[in-house]
Amino acid sequence: MRRTRRNTVRIIGGVWRSRLIEFPDAADLRPTPDRVRETLFNWLGRDLTGMDCLDLFAGSGALGFEALSRGAASVIMVENNHAVLHALRDNAAKLGATGLTVVRGDALEFARGARSRFDVVFVDPPYRLGMQVAALGLLRGLLVDGGRVYVESDAVFEPPRGWAIFKRARAGNVHFHLLVREADDQGGVSGDV
């Protein structure tokens, strides 16, 4: 049986600061870099106490574990690769993570059937699959008022209708964006009054 090489990523803030999580070699798995995570969590306010988060394409789990480390009340991680899923569960046990649910399945199918609402959703699919827009199409009803969606890509990302860019930045080849829902165009006064 061939052993999979283990890789590590460091949690950069919160109660698990400097702790390492491991992840196996897997196609398209690339953890969000430290610098990008630091900027993202500065945007989110560093302290996520009481927030409910969804890590749709969990991969290494770096974003979800970072959120838990910073006080998130709950994180759901969705992953479909068996070896990566096993690593997520091992890391959760090693950290003593509470408030974490790891789900094996397709991220878009999960979002399509989800009934929970979230303060923050992380959308970081394999770049080559280009699933960011499809994911956003399923998330509008899953966000609480004022909720945010983090989107990572390998190019500048222009959100589809109904979404606005709250913040955006670039670090090397990583383009990252924090999105908010645009206000609906309903409820305005008609010109025929």
Q: 102-138, pLDDT tens digit by residue? A: 999 999 999 999 999 999 999 998 877 789 999 999 9
Crossing angle between the packed helical segments 62-69 and 82-95, to the nearest 10 degrees:
20
pLDDT in tens, 30-60: 888 899 999 999 999 888 999 999 999 999 9
Give the pLDDT confidence score for residue 128 in this predicted structure. 79
Return the higher-pLDDT residue of 64 and 187.
Answer: 64
188 has a pLDDT exceeding 90:
no
Q: What is the pLDDT, as a whole number, of residue 193?
A: 32
Domain residue limits at 87: 32-181
φ, ψ dihedrals at 149, nearest 5°: -125, 125
Domain membership flag for residue 115: yes
Flag whether pLDDT at 148 surpasses 50.
yes
Q: What's the CATH code of the domain at 69?
A: 3.40.50.150
Point out the least confidently predicted range of 65-69, 96-100, 152-156.
152-156
Considering the entire predicted model, what is its pTM?
0.90
Structural domain count of the chain? 1
Question: Quick check: is 40 in a domain?
Answer: yes
Tell me whether residue 156 is in a domain: yes
Please state, as a whole number, how many other Cβ atoms lie within 10 Å of the Cβ of residue 89. Answer: 17
pLDDT at 28: 76
Would 7 be classed as within a structural domain?
no
> Radius of gyration (Cα) for the chain, nearest Å?
17
Is residue 21 assigned to a domain?
no
167 belongs to a structural domain? yes
pLDDT at 42: 95
pLDDT tier at 6, thresholds 50, 70, 90: low
| pLDDT given at position 127 | 78
Residue 89 in domain: yes
The pLDDT of residue 3 is 52
Q: Is residue 15 part of a domain?
A: no
